[in-house]
Amino acid sequence: MVEVESGSQGRKLRFVIIGAGMAGVLAGIKCKERGEEFTIYEKGDKVGGTWRENHYPGLACDTPAHTYSYSFAHNPDWSSYFAPGPEIREYFQAMADRYGVSEHIVFNAEIAECRWQEGRWHIRTKDGRSDVADVIVAATGVLHHPKIADIPGLNSFAGPYFHSARWDHSVEIDGKKIGVIGTGSTGVQIVSALCKRAGKLVHFQRSPQWIMPSTNPPYSEAQRAAFRADPTLIDAERNAPEALARRARFTAAIIDKDSPELAEIEAIVAKNLQDSVADPALRAKLTPNYRAACKRMVFSGDYYRSVQESTVYIETGAIDHVEPSGIRMKDGTFHELDVIALATGFHADRFVRPMTVIGENGEDLSDFWSERPRAYFAVTVPHFPNFFLLNGPTGPVGNFSLTDIAERQWEYSDQLLNLVREGKAQAIAPSMEALLDYETRRKAAAMNTVFASGCSSWYLDSEGVPQVWPWSYPYFLDVMANPRFEDYQLIGAADDDGDDEKKSSAAG
Ligand code: NAP
């Protein structure tokens, strides 16, 4: 176990962290580092979050492995440039063990309610445990409520069917007739992994995807030994000028649909399709009618090869219903199937819900979020004191390293909490005015992103506004490093009259 130095000063805080995925383990490590008391409640039975829940064939992360690791805990042993899912889960497990976080995790403990009462959070789990904390860190993840396609007759299917995040490995795949519904990153990875194993594979494509070509070179033992001997080589890998330039170009492309960078990406993906798929009829099927990166960009080096296997058929018609032995299309075509995999995505607007979170004056987070999930700079919420979201609503998503994002959001939260540690307040929350101003600016900018250029995707809220960070990555770094304290209210700050229930601005 790594001994970490306590960097905390002033009042010690007690944290409850919700979720033991990448962000929750990070929060645990940071609490440990500061010498703060904390407990992590995890509804599952092990560490890993999305990497615990997803274990479908072909699962990998399309963010380079060295970039997806914590900045302070390099891993010289990644097997390849993009790591397979199970390796990533093991990495976060290893980090929880190495930094002494594991013993603070309570597994199989789903939080039912968090209630702000008398200046502290009162927590209750579904199985009746309770806890009290000064601070809540909600590290519940974004994509963790499977969206089961509402297809008539699905329940009547005689064979096994399951969502991609609930893969049943006891089900025989080899030589079987498999139907995969959905062409997001998940569906593309599953089809690429199963095309040679299935006897027949039908990929049900409601919308085709633009595919960014990518390769995944393995790291040789010699390279891994070099990383072990000299960790600065890993820093060099993380900060390679071409990787940074690629990220800058990608960000420029997504935040401005009229940018030359987006035109460049469009040319790359169009050429990839043209060069990779020989048959013009198949190429036509695979050609999207929306702009590249409008839906979350899919990276794959083998999908186009996979769909040209003789076992694979791309079905572009509309599904009518499921029958006991297969799927009937609206034009009457029938696909006989043994297994159906639903790669139909997630309810991306849930975040901490369905948990009940009650803030100041009985404010219910689910009411506060009834239109859309809202958080000031994606981290804090008015009326919910000392409540911090990692990878919360409107943060940067989509082909970025969420690990890096969570680290920056932690640093932001930590700076705000220093006001509490220093005794300037009992708790802190952003003002409603600050959130409304942020949302007005964010929504206007979001409508200029490529995500609003005319396609459906899980980025869009119920009004069609992308629920995303619409600005540049350097701007994100800047706002996370420099919180606007004047936009926060200090709750329980002692005023000149000694009225410690008073709220004042952190600027005052
Ligand atoms: P997704 O991107 O939301 O894709 C869902 C797919 O299901 C879409 O193709 C959608 O079609 C289709 N679909 C939904 N309901 C349907 C229905 N009733 N009939 C037919 N098709 C239906 O979900 P995902 O692929 O699971 O990916 C979600 C996110 O997870 C990704 O965007 C990414 O952020 C993350 N992810 C990352 C990686 C990685 O490598 N890092 C891997 C997997 C997932 P339409 O497009 O027509 O709506």
**pLDDT single digits (tens) 262-313:** 999 999 999 999 999 999 999 999 999 999 999 999 999 999 999 999 999 9
Residue 502 confidence class, pLDDT cut points 50, 70, 90:
low
Q: What is the pLDDT of residue 503?
A: 67
Q: What is the pLDDT of residue 6?
A: 40
Q: Point out the least confidently predicted range of 357-361, 441-445, 464-468, 500-504.
A: 500-504
Burial (CB count <10 Å: 0-12, 13-18, 19+), residue 367: exposed
Q: What pTM value is reported for the model? A: 0.94
Q: What is the pLDDT of residue 507?
A: 60
Q: What is the average pLDDT across 199-204?
A: 98
* pLDDT tens digits for range 335-360: 999 999 999 999 988 889 889 999 99
* 3-class secondary-structure state, position 421: helix
| Residue 187 CB partners (closer than 8 Å, separation 6+) | 164, 180, 181, 203, 343
Residue for token digits 């099927």? 285
Token pair, residue 170, equals 């006891």
Q: What is the pLDDT of residue 177?
A: 98
CA of 303 to the centre of ligand 1 (A): 15
- Choice between 222 and 351, residue whose per-residue pLDDT is larger: 222
Q: What is the pLDDT of residue 500?
A: 42
What sign has the CA pseudo-torsion 204, 199, 185, 324?
A: positive
Residue 399 confidence class, pLDDT cut points 50, 70, 90:
low
**Percent with pLDDT over 90 in the chain:** 89
Q: Residue 36: what residue type?
A: E
Q: What is the pLDDT of residue 494?
A: 60
User: What are the residue ranges spanned by the domains of the chain?
Assistant: 14-145+347-505, 154-342
pLDDT at 497 over 60: no
* pLDDT tens digits for range 314-331: 999 999 999 999 999 999
Residue with CA at minimum distance from ligand 1 atom 2: 184
Q: What is the pLDDT of residue 397?
A: 75
- Which ligand 1 atom is at minimum distance from the Cα of 455? 46
pLDDT at 431 over 80: yes
- Which ligand 1 atom is at minimum distance from the Cα of 60? 40
CA of 342 to the centre of ligand 1 (A): 9
- Measured CA to CA, the distance from residue 464 to residue 455 in angstroms comes to 10
Which helix (H) or strand (E) is 85 found in, with range?
helix 85-98
Q: Which CATH superfamily is domain 14-145+347-505 in?
A: FAD/NAD(P)-binding domain (3.50.50.60)
- Which ligand 1 atom is at minimum distance from the Cα of 345? 23
* pLDDT tens digits for range 8-32: 468 999 999 999 999 999 999 999 9
Residue 435 confidence class, pLDDT cut points 50, 70, 90:
very high
Beta bridge partners of 379: none
Lining ligand 1 with CB less than 6 A are 60-62, 143, 149, 151, 164, 181-187, 189, 204, 206-207, 296, 319, 343-345, 456, 458
First to last CA, the chain: 43
CA of 188 to the centre of ligand 1 (A): 9
Q: Which CATH superfamily is domain 154-342 in?
A: FAD/NAD(P)-binding domain (3.50.50.60)
* pLDDT tens digits for range 137-196: 999 998 889 999 899 999 999 999 999 999 999 999 999 999 999 999 999 999 999 999
pLDDT at 54 over 80: yes
- Common-topology check for domains 14-145+347-505 and 154-342: yes
Residue with CA at minimum distance from ligand 1 atom 36: 185
Q: What is the average pLDDT across 424-432?
A: 96
Q: What is the pLDDT of residue 498?
A: 40
CA of 203 to the centre of ligand 1 (A): 13
Q: What is the average pLDDT across 384-391?
A: 98
| Residue 91 CB partners (closer than 8 Å, separation 6+) | 69, 75, 83
Contact 426, 492 (CB under 8 A): yes
| Residue 256 CB partners (closer than 8 Å, separation 6+) | 262, 448, 449, 450
Q: CA geometry: angle at 144 spanning 345 and 325, to 5°?
A: 45
